[in-house]
Structure 1
Amino acid sequence: MGGDYYETLEINRSATDAGIKQAFRRLALKFHPSRNKEAGSAEKFLQLGEAYDVLSDLRKKATYDKFGEEGLKGGIPTEFSSQTGAWSSAYVYHGNPEKTFRQFFGSDNPFADFYTNELPLQFGGLEAGVTKNQDPHIERDLHLSLDDLFHGCSKKIKISRRVMNQDGCTSSIKDKILTVEVKAGWKEGTKIIFPKEGDQGPTNIPSDIVFIVRQKSHPVFVRQLNDLIYKTDITLEMALTGFSVDVETLDGRLLNIPINDIVHPTYKKVVTGEGMPLSQDLSQRGNLILTFNIQFPVKLSAERKQLIKQALANNKILMT
């Protein structure tokens, strides 16, 4: 609420229970949205409901008087906390001032004593015929390693949300564990939706919680869709004369891949079927693509230059 409950009800801290009730009756009737159309009346009516909900309850009022709004809503140590470490439950207003209003007057039409030609009031938080609206969905990133996305896994995520109590009016904050079954081959940006797992309230449909896959970087492979890119350094000699590359796959196998071609700067070696599994068909996989960083010598002696010239000249003769 962020204000003083006594100031909201326009009373002092020594007010009796009868005085609290009298103040709420007067102000609630004055600021009820059905009778007061001025800007801010609905917000004032909500504040009145919360203030009365606290000050009319002896335990809540005692906590508020001693520890203020922060202690009331944040929880305080109980009288036995030195033995048990227990804290009181945090107070959360149910957010339905109409409910507080109806409970106070004990009538479906508290304006009956001074009936006007206005339309009858509707209670319970929603007018008749009005449907609840769902809160906007909540997005959270789900960071997964490349190994998680290669093999698939199960991830448990703890969320905290507001849950309505059995009385249908008050609510409390509770933890819940959501389990995401990660399927092998999922890509960056995949969305997992948990319907209506957001905060509950008397007048809303809880929002959906949406987890979005974010792939962590890998020390060896770079993923491109369903392909895995593996980059390795080679010498100029290797690029010209051939070599083999050992690659340990994500499932623990060691591949020995011979390279018999001359490796130029844009050369790539494609190994079919050694990439990521396809989530829609786990029997299929993308490719493993080898790329190479050719390390040229920084400088050459005159003798080595001459030998290279001779080798290239001989190669030119063989090509003609």
Structure 2
Amino acid sequence: MFRRGPSSKSDNTKFYEILGVPKTASPEDLKKAYKKAAIKNHPDKGGDPEKFKELAQAYEVLSDPEKREIYDEYGEDALKEGMGGGGGGHDPFDIFSSFFGGGGGHPFGGGSSRGRRQRRGEDVVHPLKVSLEDLYLGTTKKLSLSRKALCSKCNGKGSKSGASSTCSGCQGSGMKVSIRQLGPGMIQQMQHPCHDCKGTGETINDRDRCTQCKGEKVVSEKKVLEVAVEKGMQHSQKITFSGQADEAPDTITGDIVFVIQQKEHPKFKRKGDDLFVEHTLSLTEALCGFQFVLTHLDKRQLLIKSSPGEVVKPGTYLNHDHPLFLLFFFFLPLVCVWLFDRFIQGDSRRGNANIPKAVHEG
């Protein structure tokens, strides 16, 4: 993203005045000033909501080295124009909660009524190849999957209770903004996960790390799912296991989704809820009658035969046992087709020269 700096400076002292600190205040001074003022003005304790919002906006900007540099150089207008990612763009309650290490470290006890928002984890999608027999009869498949689960020893905290602290590199946001000066008044801004905390917003001392998950907060586990493929399910239909995907702290677990992929069948074809079978007849069978046995998808042996005196034409459909349809093709002596063609054209001069022996017609 590219932004051009404003042609003139705007107010660059307001945020310092809101926090009650000089422009030379250190990061530690900013923390102390914000903590004291935020607790005093918190709406849950009867404080002024607008004042609480201003404090969060001021601390969000001045606690970020890149944003503070832009604010000191260009003022608040530069932040509003997006050069530093914006000022006051985060929820003031989220900033307050992250400052105190989340709901567990809330200074009033029990956590803020607003709390920290949870994002939804990604769904995990797997193709599930199923035979036509299984779709016709229905089946249940047991599938073993590997997923990430919250560590049971530390309850997904990654450390001993209360041992984690807000990352000083990103002030608990999990993201950092990099600024490059490309030229006079021209700045390039890039946002990326914080390297210090890997985007979590928290840091853990090595001695306090959970011995089971090594501070990762999650562990790998095997999970066996029973996937019920119901009768009549279609190609591309989805089977969903809600909340069974990878777990992560402060995250609503996504779903595991299986997408049915119907395998090709050597004999039967499916169209919607109907089954089709192609069968080739000889000319004698088509004219004089036929009889054969067809093995259905459920292993039933079906006797297929024509009625006495019935003449079957090419392309005829026979609805034998709904939803089963049979499509007939014929294997005819080509001489019949050749002579008939010559008869229609009124041309019999070639006699029986080069008469082919047979043709497969449908």
Alignment of 1:11-160 (within 5 A): 35-36=63-64, 38=66, 121-124=99-102, 128-160=114-146
1:229 Cα shift? 0.7
Please point out which of 276, 298, 303 is paired with 1:229. 276
CA RMSD of aligned residues (A): 3.4
**Aligned residue-pair number:** 187
Provide the secondary structure at the position in 1 that maps to 2:226. Answer: strand
Match of 1:203 in 2: 250
Match of 1:270 in 2: 319
| Contact 2:121 2:247 (8 Å CA) reproduced | no
| Contact 2:135 2:231 (8 Å CA) reproduced | yes
Tell me, in whole angstroms, the C-alpha distance in 1 between the residues paired with 2:290 and 2:248: 67
Gaps of 5+ in 2: 1-26, 32-58, 68-94, 105-111, 158-216, 341-362
1:38 Cα shift? 3.5
1:299 Cα shift? 3.3
Tell me, in whole angstroms, the C-alpha distance in 1 between the residues paired with 2:265 and 2:100: 59
| Contact 2:270 2:276 (8 Å CA) reproduced | yes
1:33 Cα shift? 7.4
Provide the secondary structure at the position in 1 that maps to 2:299. Answer: coil
Change (3 A) 1:238 1:214: same
Tell me, in whole angstroms, the C-alpha distance in 2 between the residues paired with 1:179 and 1:256: 37
User: Which of the two has higher C-alpha Rg?
Assistant: 2
- TM-score normalised to the size of structure 1? 0.51
Provide the secondary structure at the position in 1 that maps to 2:147. Answer: strand
Tell me, in whole angstroms, the C-alpha distance in 2 between the residues paired with 1:33 and 1:243: 86
Change (3 A) 1:218 1:125: farther
User: Over residues 207-259 of structure 1, what are the superposed CA-to-partner deviations in whole Å (9 max), with x where a residue is unaligned?
Assistant: 11111111111122111222211111111222222212321112222111222
User: Over residues 262-318 of structure 1, what are the superposed CA-to-partner deviations in whole Å (9 max), with x where a residue is unaligned?
Assistant: 222331100133xxxxxxxxxxxxx2100012122233699x98xxxxxxxxxxxxx
| Contact 2:124 2:256 (8 Å CA) reproduced | yes
Please point out which of 209, 212, 215 is paired with 2:259. 212
Change (3 A) 1:198 1:125: farther
| Contact 1:227 1:288 (8 Å CA) reproduced | yes
| Contact 2:103 2:115 (8 Å CA) reproduced | no
Tell me, in whole angstroms, the C-alpha distance in 1 between the residues paired with 2:117 and 2:337: 85
Q: Which of structures 1 and 2 has the larger relative contact order (alpha carbons within 8 angstroms, sep 6+)?
A: 2
